[in-house]
Amino acid sequence: MKKPTYIYYLFFIITTLDMKASNIDYQVNIANEKKVIFFGNSITQVWSDYTDFFSDNGYLNKGISGQTTDQMLVRFKKDIVDEKADCVIILAGINDLAENNGPITLEQIFENIKSMVEIANDNNIKVILSSILPAYEFLWNPGIYPSDDIISLNKNIRDFCKSGNATYVDYHTSMKDKRNGLRDDYTYWRDDFNGYDGVHPNKKGYLKMEKIISKTIKKIL
């Protein structure tokens, strides 16, 4: 016995409406997506190698290994403004303190960071300024002990954010050890130096950072 034609017709209508609703939801989600870019040095660049944080959330990674704030400032327009970012997360300064490109004052580092924020503000890009991660020493440049300078710079960054030009995110407090260096369980062992790297996080360290930064991103977007 044939089923009544109206049953097939009703099924067709319901299916069509469901497909249209799904398409509308998809279009709304696309329209609401914000372009979030993480901007930094190797700490940012290598992050993508450890977790799926960027691919899962649609975030862009604009970290370049070894760069100082001078170099980051030069490429800020191309990598952030020209990309039409809605939000940029800046993590910078550790390579300056390591003197990758020679000696530099804390004031110069801070001015470079402020200049990046000003460019973002002028282009209506929301800014999250990250604390510099804790570090006690640099295995690749012995004799430099940056922990006190990191604390000073982080204070300047935090105070600057109170002006409303940027939002501060604090990795340092929950990732430091008793020496104000990076905790051993948040970094990795390097056989080439026979010691813990002490600057770059391991997977556990990045997962900790993700937990911290995710709350801030949701808060401002």
Region 55-75: mean pLDDT is 98
Tokens of 110: 């801070």
> Are 120 and 20 in the same domain?
no
Average pLDDT score over residue span 74-102: 98
Taking residues 12-20, what's their average pLDDT? Answer: 46
Helix (H) or strand (E) segment spanning residue 172: helix 172-175
Q: Are residues 7 and 95 in the same domain?
A: no
Is residue 2 predicted with pLDDT exceeding 80?
no
Q: How far is CA 108 from CA 93, 163, 170, 213, in A?
A: 10, 20, 21, 26
- 3-state secondary structure at position 15: helix
Structural domain including 25 reads: 1-32
Does pLDDT of 33 surpass 90? no
The predicted pLDDT at position 24 comes to 36
At 133 the pLDDT is: 98
119 and 196 co-located in one domain: yes
Q: Indicate if 97 and 176 belong to the same structural domain.
A: yes
Q: What is the mean pLDDT of residues 78-86?
A: 98
CA-based max dimension of the chain: 90
Whether 104 and 78 map to the same domain: the answer is: yes
End-to-end CA distance of the chain: give it in Å, rounded.
58
Residue 29: which pLDDT band, with cuts at 50, 70 and 90?
A: very low
Q: Is 70 in the same domain as 106?
A: yes
**Residue 178 pLDDT more than 90?**
yes
- pLDDT tens, position by position, 187-211: 999 999 999 999 999 999 999 999 9
Checking if the pLDDT of 158 tops 70, the result is: yes
Q: What is the CATH number of the domain that holds 84?
A: 3.40.50.1110
Number of domains present in the structure of the chain:
2
Q: Give φ, ψ of 193 to 5 degrees.
A: -115, 0
- Same domain for 178 and 123: yes
Helix, coil or strand: residue 190: strand
Regarding whether 15 and 47 lie in a shared domain, the answer is no
